Structure 1
Amino acid sequence: MPTVIEVVTVVDAAPRRVFDLELDVDVHAGSLRGSRETATTSTGRRRLTLGDEATFRATHFGLPWRMTSRITAWEPPHRFVDEQTRGPFRSLHHEHHFEDLGTSATRMTDRMTVSAPLGAFGALVTRLVLAPYLRRLLKQRAAYIRRVA
């Protein structure tokens, strides 16, 4: 059973600026320094676009993790979607929405839908452990984007 995690953040910057920062793998890795995250891209560029893949390596729960995601939807500067192509989850679908609030402010909404392997046990672990952890990571990244913007 999929679990949906949503985090909404207001950023004092125009939607295009926030959109671009969210697609910069160096900004992404910088927002999660505590997990020693690194990122490589399929193109060698540091800013992703439609069809690009990024492989992220990090340490979470004291264990090394590796996940590759592809940008599967692209509507600048309003929305993009990345989806896991390889990694620890059965599926991970992450929608990024950017709403212009006027006066150079943007409502940034992260909506992540995640399904874990291992059936009912995986669903329970996702709901009790992974979802709160992922929500905290999304909030941490959003706070970093707000500072950088």
Structure 2
Amino acid sequence: MSTIHLKTIIKADIQTVFDLSRDIDLHQKSTSKTNEKAIAGRTSGLIEKGETVTWQANHLGITQTLTTKIISMEKPFQFTDVMLKGAFKSMKHQHIFKQEGKNTIMIDIFEFQSPFGIIGKIFNKLFLKNYMKNFLLERNQLIKLTAENYLNRERSERQKS
């Protein structure tokens, strides 16, 4: 089992960051390089506990599908999704949010297991773990930019009033 642990500091309130993190439409924007699309289950808006989404994307030159389900959610502090069907042997992604002053700390704990035994373990060490880390970092960067831009627009509107 491989684990990727990321921490992103975002200058926005916890509710905004939490909602952006579970926004299907924003996720699709953040994964435009892989042409990721929600094709079944919840396909737009904010995903909720108990809901599934099936993603179709092009990774490593291969069109793949991945179905995940939100198995726990405590608004606005955490939600967890797990793979029901897809290319991994197993996958679990915990999304944790903590308010610290005017910032939200967004923590990702992404655990996955590659298929194909020893060959999968070697591929994971040489390539896949870093590929997935960069994939998550791009997603997190868009969440951060969107949340911070939203906050700046709100401030600007209040100053005009």
Q: List runs of 5+ in structure 1 lacking aligned partners.
A: none
The residue that corresponds to 1:11 in the other structure is 10
The residue that corresponds to 1:51 in the other structure is 50
**8 Å contact from structure 1 (residues 68, 84) kept in 2:** yes
% same residue: 30
RMSD: 1.2
Residues 104-137 of structure 1: CA deviation (Å, up to 9, x unaligned): x111011100001111211121122110000001
Aligned-pair distance for 1:44? 5.4
Structure 1 residue 94 corresponds to structure 2 residue 93: yes
Q: Which of structure 1's runs of 4+ aligned residues deviate more than 4 A?
A: none
Residues 70-89 of structure 1: CA deviation (Å, up to 9, x unaligned): 00111111111000000000
SS at match of 1:106: strand
Give the total of aligned pairs: 147
TM-score norm. by structure 2 comes to 0.87
Structure 1 residue 21 corresponds to structure 2 residue 20: yes
**Which amino acid in 2 is paired with 1:59?**
N
TM-score norm. by structure 1 comes to 0.94
The residue that corresponds to 1:79 in the other structure is 78
The residue that corresponds to 1:148 in the other structure is 146
Larger radius of gyration: 2
Between the aligned partners of 1:44 and 1:94, the Cα distance in structure 2 is: 19
Q: Which has the higher helix share?
A: 2
Between the aligned partners of 1:43 and 1:7, the Cα distance in structure 2 is: 26
